[in-house]
Structure 1
Amino acid sequence: MVRKAIEEHEGGAHMKIEAAVTHGQGEEFKIGEVELAEPRSNEVLVRVVATGVCHTDAVARDNGIVPYPIVLGHEGAGIVEQAGENVKAVGPGDHVVLSYSSCGHCENCLSAHPSTCEKMNDLNFGSQGIERLEQDGRPVATFFGQSSFATYAVADERNVVKVPDDVELELLGPLGCGIQTGSGTVLACLKPAFGSTIVVYGCGAVGLSAVMAAKIAGCRTVIAVDVHESRLELARELGADYALNGAEVDVVEEIGKATGAGTHYAVETTGVPAVVHQSLAALRPLGTVAIVGITPEMTVDMFGEIMAEGKTVTGVIEGDTVPQLFIPELVEYYRQGRFPFDKLVKYYDFEDINQAFEDSRTGKTIKPVVKMR
């Protein structure tokens, strides 16, 4: 790995780091030397220890929704090496998880909903106002305000969450997005009543995090739905009372048998239109489904599927949490043995990042994490 080297550069000091660069839509990652600008007064420099691989990284790489070239990675974990003069929350030596960007000034940010920040798309997918990276004299875009598929990252203080230094740091990166999304959707958004029923569609990292969160919330019946038996087996291990293979059974009928009248809540993580319709059909009257998966354009019968039985559909981004408050809670649940998300993780060397993405795509690995050292 290239050790950082500070040098003077037009516009300020830069350091040389190694990063996995995506040069064009759908192209594999290429690890190479990149120059990273020093942190500004509101920013921190983090030595990245490990970064989770998230489906959103693959969507950004393959679907042309970001500028290229770009350094992806948005579930970073590392150690603060330098903090700008206006940074108050963390300092050198602190262990941190990096999460998404938000402006901190709009109505949603000020009302504790930063994941629906009015500038969410610009800050996280467009590198708006963020010019930190260069390669061979050419600008390289930043992702989620962190670009943590790299040996070092600079991030705004609002991206950074301090975590205890007695918990394995390499494990914690996925809390910044995927695992926060699944668990936060249950605990922070749906807030299911004690003794209620819930079904989770899709048993990837997001869905299994929702399963674990449902047990923490005290749901009486937790149902997991997927088409891979290995994932359904893990869902049972993590607390699901029923695990249904959608390729083998009538999911709506089986949920009806298990609950009597359908579930109070549902979390839909797949983005598959047919599964979205299932999630609505299997709700009891006045039930709520949280849509977390990225769906294509689809048609919904507003009267028959929603209004006629008083059902609610809500979209949820990043679990609708405040990361600085919620992620430390997840760490504490993990310490207590109530949130064993380590069972989802498999580690890869940084040099094997393309294999990590392939194993995520095929479902071989639920949550790959690439280690930088």
Structure 2
Amino acid sequence: MGSIAIDAAVVEGAGNPFRFEKLAMDAPGPGQIRVRLHACGICHTDMVMRDGALPIPFPVILGHEGAGVVDAVGPGVDGVAPGDHVLLSFHSCGACSACHDHQPGYCAEFVPRNFLGVTPPGQGGIWRGDERIGGNIFGQSSFATHALAHSDNVVRIDRDLPLDILAPLGCGVQTGAGTVLETLQVQPGQSIAILGAGAVGLSALMAAVIAGAGRIAVIDRHASRLALARELGATETGDDLAALDGQFDHIADTTGVPALLGLAVDRLAQRGTLALVGAYPPGGFTIDPSSIMSMGRRIVGVVEGGIDPQLFIPRLITYYREGRLPLEKLIKRYAFADLEAAFAASESGAVIKPVVLMPQD
């Protein structure tokens, strides 16, 4: 089994545009799975990586919400075979204490395996002539016609399911839904405020409805997103947390704006929890420690929803089949060639979850 030619969107350096290129992909090595991609969601983290705010190896292929069909497998791969339909998620070592606890988002090797795209010796890569391209971001690099993924970050799904609609389960959707259902473990009748009505925030909202939450408030600056939030089950919406009455058992911040967090702490009920889900810039925010201690409040950081994709993605698919996770309401499809336009629509707020579709032979 030799190398194949692929088409990929390459970012040459921080802040550069995508450039479509013909590259060579090695045959899958031990533990690797080659996937012919059909679709890939666009996540805010892709924008952060493109702009050089995270330590990724330029030149690089981004994309980490891939979905497609297994094309080939390397030695030692069990559980999937050529022809299987799969969703791709983040990469983890499988050996550290967090992985053993089914919390791979906190894997001891999360940064090198996902942002640095490090692969062990003997595993396949992607090449431009003699130059190796960063082609293992989040263990996949899915802005391409093919990806080399791994046994731990490939989730097999039924062939009747729509790959384009389910692609975002691999990151954004599982992050929002997992925060509510697994990390916060919202109980029936409890209240929650969700800051930000992007893909992560609206996934958190849908999960809060699934959990049977009582009061569900959503805060965002885009009126169209607040209208969709009400359609999806929010009991109240607004553009300012300060304008809401009362306190909340849970608050999930998906905005990554530190200035909102002090007020969020103040709006927590006794023994309430603030989940930090956004991509925060370096620095800090000011809180009164006594307001945490005296009220039994908690602040918890959340990566990828605090879930195990192998267990949680099938659960999300069940909700989708039942009509309780209407992902199609968040998605707008774009041709792979229109990747720049899809990014621009996401950055402007015009589209909640762009999904690019790869050309199929």
Stretch of structure 1 that moved more, 97-106 or 58-67: 58-67
Structure 1 match to 2:280: 295
**Which of these residues, 358, 367, 371, is aligned with residue 344 of structure 2?**
358
Return 5+ residue gaps in structure 1 as ranges. Answer: 1-5, 7-12, 257-261
**Which of these residues, 302, 318, 335, is aligned with residue 304 of structure 2?**
318
Structure 2 match to 1:185: 179
Superposition pairs of residues 110-259 of structure 1, within 5 angstroms: 110-129=100-119, 132-141=125-134, 142-246=136-240, 251-256=241-246
2-structure distance, mates of 1:217, 1:45: 36
Structure 2 match to 1:76: 66
Identical residues among aligned pairs (%): 44
TM-score, scaled relative to structure 2: 0.95
1:105 and 2:105 aligned: no
2-structure distance, mates of 1:336, 1:368: 23
1:27 and 2:16 aligned: yes
2-structure distance, mates of 1:300, 1:162: 44
Q: What amino acid sits opposite 1:231 in the alignment?
A: R
2-structure distance, mates of 1:237, 1:214: 14
CA shift at 1:64, angstroms? 4.4
1-structure distance, mates of 2:255, 2:290: 22
Q: Any conservation in 1 of the 2:33–2:148 contact (CA below 8 Å)? A: yes
1-structure distance, mates of 2:260, 2:239: 12
2-structure distance, mates of 1:314, 1:76: 28
CA shift at 1:221, angstroms? 1.1
| Inter-CA distance 93–255: structure 2 relative to 1 (3 Å threshold) | farther
Structure 1 match to 2:50: 61
Output one character per residue of 1:193-218: Cα deviation in whole Å (capped at 9) or x when no partner.
21100010000000000000000001
- Say which SS state the counterpart of residue 309 (structure 1) adopts: coil
- Say which SS state the counterpart of residue 122 (structure 1) adopts: helix
CA shift at 1:63, angstroms? 2.4
Q: Any conservation in 2 of the 1:255–1:263 contact (CA below 8 Å)? A: no
- Say which SS state the counterpart of residue 294 (structure 2) adopts: helix
Structure 1 match to 2:269: 284
- Say which SS state the counterpart of residue 201 (structure 2) adopts: helix
CA shift at 1:173, angstroms? 1.0
Please tell me the root mean square deviation across aligned C-alpha atoms, in Å.
Answer: 1.2
Return 5+ residue gaps in structure 2 as ranges. Answer: none
1:267 and 2:267 aligned: no
1-structure distance, mates of 2:129, 2:311: 39
CA shift at 1:300, angstroms? 2.5
2-structure distance, mates of 1:83, 1:255: 55
1:370 and 2:356 aligned: yes
CA shift at 1:41, angstroms? 2.7
- Say which SS state the counterpart of residue 10 (structure 2) adopts: strand
CA shift at 1:302, angstroms? 4.4
Output one character per residue of 1:226-277: Cα deviation in whole Å (capped at 9) or x when no partner.
111100000000110001122xxxx234231xxxxx1101110001122222
CA shift at 1:304, angstroms? 4.0
Number of matched residues?
A: 353
2-structure distance, mates of 1:235, 1:330: 19
TM-score, scaled relative to structure 1: 0.92
2-structure distance, mates of 1:316, 1:64: 19
CA shift at 1:67, angstroms? 1.5
Superposition pairs of residues 327-338 of structure 1, within 5 angstroms: 327-338=313-324
Q: What amino acid sits opposite 2:70 in the alignment?
A: V
In the TM superposition, structure 1's runs of 4+ consecutive aligned residues that sit over 4 Å from their partners are none
Structure 2 match to 1:309: 295
CA shift at 1:134, angstroms? 1.1
- Say which SS state the counterpart of residue 63 (structure 1) adopts: coil
Structure 1 match to 2:75: 85
1-structure distance, mates of 2:186, 2:50: 35
- Say which SS state the counterpart of residue 3 (structure 2) adopts: strand
Superposition pairs of residues 337-352 of structure 1, within 5 angstroms: 337-352=323-338
